[in-house]
Amino acid sequence: MKKKIGMFFGAAFALVTSIDTANAQVKVPENITALMNKYTCSACHRVDARLVGPAYTDVSKKKYTDAKIVELIYKPVPENWPGYPPMAPMTQVPKEDALVLAKYINSLDAKAKK
């Protein structure tokens, strides 16, 4: 019984943490999708839709630098996003991967203007 419950929760977690790029309005590169899933970003964020956390397109509109986004990944500031639950610090994300994600997030603002 425990094994079946564990399998159920494992499958549910995989479903929740898999980013749905098929329904996204913005094409998400495979390497970005892989990072979002690996570090469970996709459990709370979508590229162009509010979920638990803000859409990445909304984050890009804040005009944070790449370095600031990396900093916020490690030390979120809930006051920056009223109306959302506080984000947990994502200290398990290596800086190189956080920077790749930050650059992608900031690229979304430029894409939205086209």
Q: What secondary structure does DSSP assign to 13-25, as a single string?
A: HHHHHS---SS-S
The more confidently predicted of residues 68 and 2 is 68
**pLDDT computed for residue 109 by the predictor:** 81
**pLDDT computed for residue 32 by the predictor:** 97
Residue with tokens 């900031």: 106
Residue with tokens 């690996």: 38
pTM (two decimals): 0.76
Contact 86, 21 (CB under 8 A): no
**pLDDT computed for residue 112 by the predictor:** 58
* Orientation angle between helical segments 95-113 and 66-74, nearest 10 degrees: 130
CA distance 44 to 88: 11
Spans of all domains in the chain: 2-113
Asked if residue 59 has pLDDT above 80, the reply is yes
CA distance 108 to 89: 23
User: Annotation-wise, does 87 bind a ligand?
Assistant: yes
CATH fold of 2-113, please?
Cytochrome Bc1 Complex; Chain D, domain 2 (1.10.760)
